[in-house]
């Protein structure tokens, strides 16, 4: 009888432990994805990039207008800048030479909306728009 009780308790313990759900981020797009998690706990964190770029002629025009440096404002915060002389590319690829790539992290949803502004000399807004980026994306913004 004692052996039966010990066996029953051992089986009950194994069943209880194996049926427990491990909480964590279950979305594979998240930077903190947990492959062992079986229950999403709402902590998923996502990363994405925004790449700003323009063709050489646009860079020349900006310099001719007196904009020697461009500042990148995301949701009313200056997050980076670049000297206009070196800001030109034939393609809008993340981290390509002559572009400005800005990384963003966000929580909850796999998409995030942002309001960007590109500011020239005297903090003048020369480009502005609203964008939606997706997790693990490289969203390109071509300045015309």
Phi, psi of 130, rounded to the nearest 5 degrees? -110, 140
In this structure, are residues 139 and 131 in contact, taking their beta carbons and an 8 Å threshold? yes
Give the domain ranges of the chain.
2-40, 45-142
Predicted structure pTM score:
0.81
- Tens digits of pLDDT across the chain (144 residues): 555 555 555 544 544 444 567 889 999 999 999 999 999 898 999 999 999 999 999 999 999 999 999 999 999 999 999 999 999 999 999 999 999 999 999 998 999 999 999 999 999 999 999 999 999 999 999 999
Q: 45-142 has which CATH code? A: 2.60.40
The single-letter DSSP state of residue 20 is P
């Amino acid at each position: 009888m004692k052996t039966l009780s010990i066996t029953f308790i051992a089986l009950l313990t194994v069943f209880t432990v194996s049926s427990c759900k491990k909480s964590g981020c279950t979305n594979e797009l998240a930077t903190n994805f947990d492959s062992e998690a079986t229950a999403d706990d709402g902590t998923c964190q996502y990363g994405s990039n925004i790449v700003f770029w323009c063709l050489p002629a646009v860079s020349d025009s900006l310099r001719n207008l007196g904009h020697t440096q461009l500042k990148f404002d995301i949701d009313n915060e200056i997050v980076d800048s670049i000297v206009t002389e070196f800001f030109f590319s034939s393609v809008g690829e993340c981290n390509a030479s002559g572009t400005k790539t800005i990384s963003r992290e966000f929580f909850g949803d796999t998409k995030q909306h942002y309001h960007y502004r590109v500011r020239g000399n005297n903090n003048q807004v020369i480009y502005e728009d609203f964008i939606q980026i997706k997790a693990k994306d490289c969203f390109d913004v071509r300045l015309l």
